[in-house]
Structure 1
Amino acid sequence: MASSIREAICWSGPAVVILFTIGRAESRLEEGEFDVSGIRPDEVGLHEMSSEPREWQAVVREYDLTFEEGRLDDPDFPAYLRECLRKASARAEGIAWLTFEGAFHFDHLFTDDIADQIYGYCVAGDEPVVTWDREIMKSDRWKGEVRGVRSVLDVAFTSPEWRCVFPMDEEQICRGILEEGLDDWVPVDRLVGLARELSERRDVSHRDVSEKVLAHLLRDSLANVGDLGENRFEAWSDDADGAVRRVIHALDEVGWEPAGNVCWLANTPAGDREAADRQVI
């Protein structure tokens, strides 16, 4: 295993950043669209991937972005990758992620065994996340974040019909968070991303939407908010209103760019029942 992300990216010669997308849109990014904030790849390769097995109702693409190796040392390079992920996931109407050569297989998308081969991801409408630290990629916390992306994938792309994972009102955002929470803890990033998506379509404040949804989840005892400890969720001791204020303040402090570092949501038994009942047709 490569000891650094740079070493893994450059192992076969030139620096090749491999960006995958899975989504419902047929449209793709053109080469010039990877020119962001003065950084552009020397070459862009595009590969159409077979959507086997057949149950994956999705379009899958691989973009190979080639750079001169020294460009990886640019302190703005991780921010550049985040914007590429944001663009790619939006264009795909799905998920974009960064991984190393040889780490793609349909049976192992965002699974625990390859979490340490993924160094960035973005679900359309959410904030992109990129780490440039190999030790973070090996951590249980990172594995939990990648597992959260897998839960989105399972909901979105394994149904015979498309299911919307980008809800368009506050009630549906609550439902989406609880349904994802049936399988795992949900980073507050997910709520922020959905609120931002709603704000762009309805001319409302994503801050207000986030606060409203969070207050509903906590006051109705559908979810708890807390941190990820050593292999477990550690709920905060604040009451519902105090927890809401604490989360909103923490998000204000990071400019509403949580990047997995603010808090997580965990369904209560009531939240599980609510989500399970809504899934029954």
Structure 2
Amino acid sequence: MSIIEDAICWDGVSAKLCMYVVSPGSKPLGSRDFQLGGVAPKDILGPFLMEDEFEVLHGKALVFYELTLEAYPNDLKAYLTHCSAAALADGAEFVWFQFDGGFDFESVLSQDFARDVYFLQPAGGLPSIAIDDEVRTGKGWAQVVLGARRMLIGGPRIRSIEDMIAMKGTGSVIDDLTPVSREKLAQLRADYPQIPDQFIEFLEKVGFGCIGDGGYMIYDGVAEPGFIYSEPESVDWILLFGDDFSGCNAGFHVSTGRIYEIDSAFMSAEEVANDFLGFIAAKISEVASW
């Protein structure tokens, strides 16, 4: 039995999923919202409005549900995504699942408790899922959880290129980025007309280079996979724009502009953001939290 299965099925009888919903919608979620195919809770505790006495979440409401299932779902990822989608569709700002146990607002989504969290999803964003024990206990997942905490509690509030421009010169992790000349950008646009406008604007007004002290590298253009990988066939539909100095590159889907990260060890690509602005805003916040 995996760590996560053992933790969710801790009583040896059923599976308990602890779901936290920030800024609840207009109505409580019910049994229909938590039903997916043949999987449905036999018992639902909640919604319980949790008292944030010290306003750690700056006045945002936090609601708790405990879902008790007959058994560990065959497809836990699909079930968690379904439940989260129901909450987000009703107006939630953020949803996460974590193991049962003690909870306090000061440690909510903190790096020290990242191993207890196995699902995160903000409104308008893709879910981050760590039901694999190795993923959940790794440094990368801890940074994902910490980034979510910063979204809820504090840190750079980045919603536009203008927010990033305002950050430069304030001691931020993007202070050292160097703007790309308009002439070079014009050539880049001519060579790769499918590059999203957001990336061009970022290079022009914010720049390229290293975010933070070795945190993340943004290129001054794009690189085709064949320039970096010896066998690029499986990812030749991606134009690369950055990397983490550890073998993980990010790039644009040449047709949709959506953002993918490539695991160079397996030459596999995973979608991580809807667009460049969403990706780079999250990356800057993540590096700033280190």
Aligned-residue offset at 1:177: 7.0
Aligned mate of 1:233, from 206, 210, 215: 215
Aligned mate of 2:161, from 159, 174, 177: 174
Residue of structure 1 equivalent to 2:15: 15
| SS of the residue 2:19 aligns to | strand
Give the alignment's TM-score, normalised by structure 1.
Answer: 0.64
Residue of structure 1 equivalent to 2:42: 42
| SS of the residue 2:80 aligns to | helix
26-35 or 105-114, larger mean C-alpha shift:
26-35
Residue of structure 2 equivalent to 1:94: 93
Aligned-residue offset at 1:222: 4.3
The amino acid across from 1:51 in the alignment is: D
Residue of structure 2 equivalent to 1:67: 69
Give the gaps of 5 or more residues in structure 2. 175-194, 225-237, 241-250, 262-268
**Conservation of the 8 A alpha-carbon contact between 1:21 and 1:92:** no
The amino acid across from 1:64 in the alignment is: E
The amino acid across from 1:235 in the alignment is: M
- Written as runs of structure 1 = structure 2, the 5 A alignment for 1:121-136 is 121-136=120-135
Aligned-residue offset at 1:26: 5.0
RMSD (Å) for aligned C-alpha atoms: 4.2
Q: 1:28 to 1:242 in 2, by over 3 A?
A: farther
Residue of structure 2 equivalent to 1:258: 272
Q: Which has the higher strand share?
A: 2
Residue of structure 2 equivalent to 1:248: 252
Q: Give the Cα separation in 2 of the matches to 1:68 and 1:173.
A: 45
Residue of structure 1 equivalent to 2:60: 58
Q: Give the Cα separation in 2 of the matches to 1:224 and 1:264.
A: 16
How many residues align structurally? 224
Aligned-residue offset at 1:125: 0.8
**Conservation of the 8 A alpha-carbon contact between 2:24 and 2:90:** no
Residue of structure 1 equivalent to 2:118: 119
Residue of structure 1 equivalent to 2:197: 212
**Conservation of the 8 A alpha-carbon contact between 1:178 and 1:267:** no
**Conservation of the 8 A alpha-carbon contact between 2:259 and 2:279:** no
Q: 1:121 to 1:178 in 2, by over 3 A?
A: farther
96-105 or 17-26, larger mean C-alpha shift:
17-26
Aligned-residue offset at 1:51: 2.5
Q: Give the Cα separation in 2 of the matches to 1:140 and 1:173.
A: 28
120-129 or 21-30, larger mean C-alpha shift:
21-30
Residues 44-66 of structure 1: CA deviation (Å, up to 9, x unaligned)? 22122112223531111111111
When Rg is computed on C-alpha atoms for both structures, the one with the higher figure is 2
Q: Give the Cα separation in 2 of the matches to 1:38 and 1:179.
A: 51
- Written as runs of structure 1 = structure 2, the 5 A alignment for 1:264-275 is 265=280, 266-267=283-284
248-257 or 7-16, larger mean C-alpha shift:
248-257
Q: Which has the higher helix share?
A: 1
Residue of structure 2 equivalent to 1:197: none
Aligned-residue offset at 1:81: 0.8
| SS of the residue 1:31 aligns to | coil
Q: Give the Cα separation in 2 of the matches to 1:78 and 1:224.
A: 36
Q: 1:145 to 1:179 in 2, by over 3 A?
A: farther
Residues 235-258 of structure 1: CA deviation (Å, up to 9, x unaligned)? 15x423549942212847789842
Q: Give the Cα separation in 1 of the matches to 2:167 and 2:41.
A: 35
| SS of the residue 1:151 aligns to | helix
Residue of structure 2 equivalent to 1:28: 28
Give the gaps of 5 or more residues in structure 1. 157-164, 186-209, 273-281
